[in-house]
């Protein structure tokens, strides 16, 4: 796919919602202005289990603004956007990475504030009615076992939790119609602007990267292994620098997401990795495999937050690209 490119210095990615906020995390001079921590700008921001980032493109005398994910139902993203003086009606496009509440929780109220002609991109199955379940400690259990009572499975400590997708799809579409906002449901990559594309459905190169113990149900008794076919990432090609990979949770695996982007764009060089990498429940052995893969790519910036986990950040810290991302962290790329 011909992605095109963006000139270096013409894109700013800002974390506007995540699990952590801090006034005391210093900006590391080793990044030479490419990564800036918020300091006192984050004074009135709120943390929540979730993630949201703005992607600002500077194009001549005009700018474009993308919101990648909307964090959780507490709507901290709306509060934090106000603190950072970012207006909801400045957003032109919203990308929803996948159908988990901590990534689309504030979507409906935000949709009500979007300007006419704005667009929301998501997979056709992202908000489909269904059920999610996760086993205790990530242990796999046969899908047919879900034919018995979920309450019984929980009592036997086989299931950690199960829940139904809570969003009302009709409300979202009605809000979009009322505000002349376009909802684009697709499994194909979309070119958002010159140099920026969505991933479309992410190819699975290594099934071992998929999270263990996740199941997707059509009903309370019919479940199958969840392979996150709705997950979407964003790729940005910075001229002469390489690909920036932006992820929500990386349920399909950060290595798979990287390889998919390389195959899709024909660009092997990885400049930056920013988002949730979903390694918080992985073994040290599995984390070492991912870190070694990233080290071989040798990006300039690696920022794993939200669901990435302490152990990944501890191990990844040995590579000079590693940086902590909190609410208000900016990437000037």
pLDDT for residue 241 is more than 90? yes
Per-residue pLDDT at 22: 93
The tokens for 58 are 């500077």
Instruction: State which H helix or E strand residue 270 sits in.
Output: strand 270-276
Tens of pLDDT, residue by residue over 30-64, are 999 999 999 999 999 999 999 999 999 998 888 99
Q: Where are the domains of the chain?
A: 11-332
Is 89 in contact with 68 (CB distance < 8 Å)? no
Integer Cα distance of 72 and 105 in angstroms: 4
Contacts of 155 by beta carbon, 8 Å cutoff, 6+ apart: none
Is 134 in contact with 213 (CB distance < 8 Å)? yes
- The answer, as to whether pTM is greater than 0.85, is yes
Integer Cα distance of 205 and 215 in angstroms: 20
Among residues 258, 261, 249, 251, the alpha carbon closest in space to that of 304 is found at 249
Residue with tokens 């990267």: 209
Per-residue pLDDT at 153: 78
Average pLDDT on 281-298 reads 96
From the CA atom positions of the chain, what is the Rg in Å?
19
Per-residue pLDDT at 102: 93
The CATH class, in words, for 11-332 is alpha beta
Separation of first and last alpha carbons in the chain? 22
pLDDT category, 134, cuts 50, 70, 90?
A: confident
Average pLDDT on 322-333 reads 98
Tens of pLDDT, residue by residue over 66-85, are 999 999 988 999 999 999 99
Per-residue pLDDT at 136: 67
- Averaged pLDDT of the chain: 92
Per-residue pLDDT at 130: 77
Q: Which of the two residues, 132 and 46, has the higher pLDDT score?
A: 46
Integer Cα distance of 181 and 53 in angstroms: 20
| DSSP 8-state code for residue 21 | -
pLDDT category, 219, cuts 50, 70, 90?
A: confident
| DSSP 8-state code for residue 148 | S
Average pLDDT on 160-172 reads 75
Beta strands in 165-213 (DSSP E): 182-185, 191-193, 196-198
Q: Tell how strand 270-276 and strand 242-247 pair up.
A: parallel
Integer Cα distance of 147 and 137 in angstroms: 21
Integer Cα distance of 103 and 97 in angstroms: 7
**Cα dist from 198 to 54, 61, 149, 257, whole Å:** 15, 25, 39, 11
pLDDT for residue 147 is more than 70? no
Alpha helices in 275-333 (DSSP H): 284-297, 310-316
Could you tell me which residues are beta bridge partners of residue 95?
68, 121
What is the share, in percent, of the chain residues with pLDDT greater than 90? 75
The tokens for 125 are 């199955």
Is 47 in contact with 38 (CB distance < 8 Å)? no
Instruction: Summarize the chain as % helix, strand, coil (round to 5).
Output: 25, 25, 50
What is the share, in percent, of the chain residues with pLDDT greater than 70? 97
- Interhelix angle 284-297/254-265, rounded to 10 degrees, is 30
């Amino acid at each position: 796919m011909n992605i095109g490119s963006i000139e270096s210095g013409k894109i700013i990615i800002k974390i506007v919602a995540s699990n952590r906020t801090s006034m005391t995390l210093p900006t590391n001079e080793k990044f030479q202005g490419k990564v800036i921590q918020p300091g006192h700008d984050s004074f009135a921001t709120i943390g929540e289990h979730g993630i949201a980032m703005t992607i600002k493109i500077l194009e001549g005398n005009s700018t474009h603004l993308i919101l990648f994910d909307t964090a959780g139902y507490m709507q901290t993203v709306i509060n934090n956007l106000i603190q950072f003086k970012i207006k909801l009606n400045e957003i032109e496009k919203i990308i929803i990475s996948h159908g988990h509440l901590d990534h689309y929780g504030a979507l409906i109220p935000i949709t009500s504030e979007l300007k006419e002609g704005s667009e929301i991109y998501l997979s056709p199955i992202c908000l489909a009615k269904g059920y999610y379940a996760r086993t205790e400690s990530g242990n796999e259990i046969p899908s047919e076992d879900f034919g018995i009572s979920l309450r019984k499975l929980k009592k036997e400590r086989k299931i950690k939790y199960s829940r139904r997708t809570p969003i009302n799809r009709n409300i979202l579409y009605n809000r979009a119609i009322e505000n002349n906002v376009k909802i684009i449901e697709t499994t194909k990559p979309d070119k958002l602007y010159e140099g920026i594309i969505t991933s479309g459905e992410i190819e699975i190169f290594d099934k071992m990267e998929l999270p263990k113990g996740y199941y997707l149900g059509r009903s309370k008794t019919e479940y199958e292994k969840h392979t996150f076919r709705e997950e979407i990432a964003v790729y940005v090609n910075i001229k002469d620098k390489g690909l920036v990979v932006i992820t929500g949770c990386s349920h399909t695996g950060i290595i798979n997401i990287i390889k998919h982007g390389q195959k899709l764009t024909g660009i092997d060089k990885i400049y930056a990795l920013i988002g949730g990498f979903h390694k918080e429940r992985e073994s040290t052995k599995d984390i070492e495999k991912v870190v070694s893969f990233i080290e071989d790519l040798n990006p300039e910036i690696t920022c794993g937050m939200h669901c990435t986990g302490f152990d990944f950040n501890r191990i990844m810290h040995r590579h000079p690209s590693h940086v902590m991302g909190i609410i208000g962290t900016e990437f000037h790329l």
